[in-house]
Amino acid sequence: MKSFVYLASQSPRRRQLLEQLGVAYELLLPDADEDAEALEAALPREVPLAYVQRVTQLKLDAALARLKKRGLPAAPVLCSDTTVALGRVILGKPLDDADAVRILRALSGKTHRVLTAVALGTEQQRQQAVSISRVTFATLSDAQIQAYVDSGEPMGKAGAYGVQGRVAAHIAHISGSYSGIMGLPMFETNTLLQGFGLGR
């Protein structure tokens, strides 16, 4: 039987990156009655690194329970979570256009961190890795921010932007993992997959 992993993510970017690694996968998405967004709520005074690691483990817990409930064939489950941090402040997905404007104004002209945690696990074992990158935005005018928000691209993305989209024109410098900033760090993911005999 061909080896594969379950990808517990709705992100098309994560699917694309996993395909780039040449790993066979099947999607393991939440049921309609699951509140996937609730898993991403930050705790009071929680620092970004602890937050992204905890949320990824919660996602893995939920996905493994989903796998068991559905009675699907056993295979490792891959989960990931990305957060954007300005200092110790976690900048999550924007609530609406006004919130996206607020977040992008905060990032304008500054360097921030993008933390992506990846977890791979079964009922018997689990492993996790974290990629931390730094991204520097040029100073954005209100008109540039509004035009980007009007494009709809910021919605559903941590930090109100997607590095692979049109905001790339305003990113002056990146230090770290480009794929990690996209949402699935290739090196760390491949290392985890190798631990389960699935890497390249």
Catalytic residues: 81
* Residue 98 · residue 166 · CB < 8 Å: no
**Strand ranges in the chain using DSSP code E only, listed in sequence order:** 5-7, 25-27, 77-86, 89-91, 111-121, 126-137, 171-175
Q: Which residues contact 51 (CB under 8 A, 6 or more apart)?
A: 42, 43, 83, 90
Q: Which of 179, 154, 9 minimizes the C-alpha distance to 80?
A: 9
CA 78/CA 112 separation, integer angstroms = 26
